[in-house]
A and B are shown apart, each in its own frame.
Chain A
């Protein structure tokens, strides 16, 4: 089992460019999450998906969109990247929403110039 995988590992964008961060899990989990980690801020929830077909905003959703493509995959899209979106992005999954531990991917380091 690969657990939670994320692509790409690193990305540099120019202001205004768009991109999609991909996430997949092979644990048959129902719930998936996107976080960003910034220095001194901890992890902040961007969006989450309780189950296939549903998505909800987290703490910092502005500037992002998500798609729960199927049970395995949950993508995060930046339509028009801004320097404030420079961060490390983590995808996570859990068996059920709000129950038990989350399993995290290795992260995507994004720099927006």
Chain B
């Protein structure tokens, strides 16, 4: 039972263009969402988060959008840079109750120079 899904295992984008990474979830009790970036042979690093009371959060080139009715969130990277090439994981959290972060399976982004 995959509660958090990233249906695109990989994505290629030209440098300077927009990268859009998608994430779907099934549990409407999730109230906090995060994106992590992971380079090979390293641990994931936090990128950006959003609370369920918001529908958008921006941090520099990174914007996360949350559509609660569709149970969908997306990460936009504009403009994409070669250094953004990594695996991106979305994670969901229900702050009251289980306290467990549920991660998606990841999307490998390749930004082409």
B residues neighboring A (CB under 8 Å): 4, 6, 32, 34, 36, 41-46, 49, 89, 91, 93-95, 99-106
Contact of B42 among A98, A101, A102, A107 (CB under 8 A): A107
Contact between B45 and A98, CB atoms less than 8 A apart: no
- Does chain B have a CB within 8 A of A4? yes
In whole angstroms, how far apart are the Cα atoms of A28 and B104 in the complex? 28
CB distance from B37 to the nearest CB of A (A): 11
Contact of A102 among B4, B41, B101, B104 (CB under 8 A): B101
Q: How large, as a class, is the contact surface on chain A?
A: 20 to 34
Contact of A42 among B43, B94, B99, B104 (CB under 8 A): B104
Contact of A101 among B4, B49, B89, B99 (CB under 8 A): B49
In whole angstroms, how far apart are the Cα atoms of A33 and B102 in the complex? 12
Could you give 19 example pairs across A and B, Cβ below 8 Å? A4-B43, A40-B105, A41-B105, A42-B105, A42-B106, A45-B101, A45-B102, A59-B102, A98-B94, A98-B95, A98-B99, A99-B95, A101-B49, A103-B46, A104-B43, A105-B43, A106-B41, A106-B42, A107-B43
CB-CB < 8 A to B94: which residues of A? 98
CB distance from B69 to the nearest CB of A (A): 24
CB distance from A99 to the nearest CB of B (A): 7
CB-CB < 8 A to B91: which residues of A? 43
Q: Which of A35, A50, A59, A101 has the most CB of B within 10 A?
A: A101
